[in-house]
Amino acid sequence: MFDIGFSEIVVIGVVALVVIGPERLPKTARTLGHLFGRLQRYVNDVKADINREMELDELRKLQREMQGAAREFEQSVTTAANDMQTGLRNVERELNEAPASSPATGGADVTAAASANSDPPRQPALPGFDKI
């Protein structure tokens, strides 16, 4: 910060010795050392606060990005779930609208067979699932 060489420090010391005197010079030097130390600590604290604020801003930015990504993911999952539900409803509607006869029963009417046994009507079994 300041470009002070050894010869300049010696000149400052000689002038201080002449102006302040040899009796008060050690006490004054000690006080100046304490004040300089406080100044350095204050400057370091300010630097640390600025660094913390910068990191906090970066973390907030990262948090906003992650929340946006989470919202996009949630929307995509919701859209996929809605598409899946729509597809399942369509398949269920098609199965309910299918003719009552199935190839597994040999073309016989399932509702007629169910009413003959006095059991409640059942939905026809899907092909391949009649053996379960």
Residue 126, both tokens? 């899907």
Q: Is the pLDDT of residue 44 over 70?
A: yes
C-alpha closest to that of 100 among 108, 89, 90, 92: 108
Reported as a single tens digit per residue, the pLDDT across 96-118 is 887 654 555 544 454 554 445 55
> Is the distance from CB of 107 to CB of 84 less than 8 angstroms?
no
Q: Please state the length of the chain.
A: 132
Q: What is the mean pLDDT of the chain?
A: 82
Amino acid 97: pLDDT: 85
Confidence of residue 52 (pLDDT cuts 50, 70, 90): very high
For residue 75, what are the CA distances in angstroms to 71, 82, 132?
6, 10, 39
Confidence of residue 66 (pLDDT cuts 50, 70, 90): very high
Q: Which ranges constitute the DSSP H helices of 1-132?
A: 6-20, 25-97, 110-116
C-alpha closest to that of 16 among 2, 30, 3: 30
Amino acid 121: pLDDT: 63
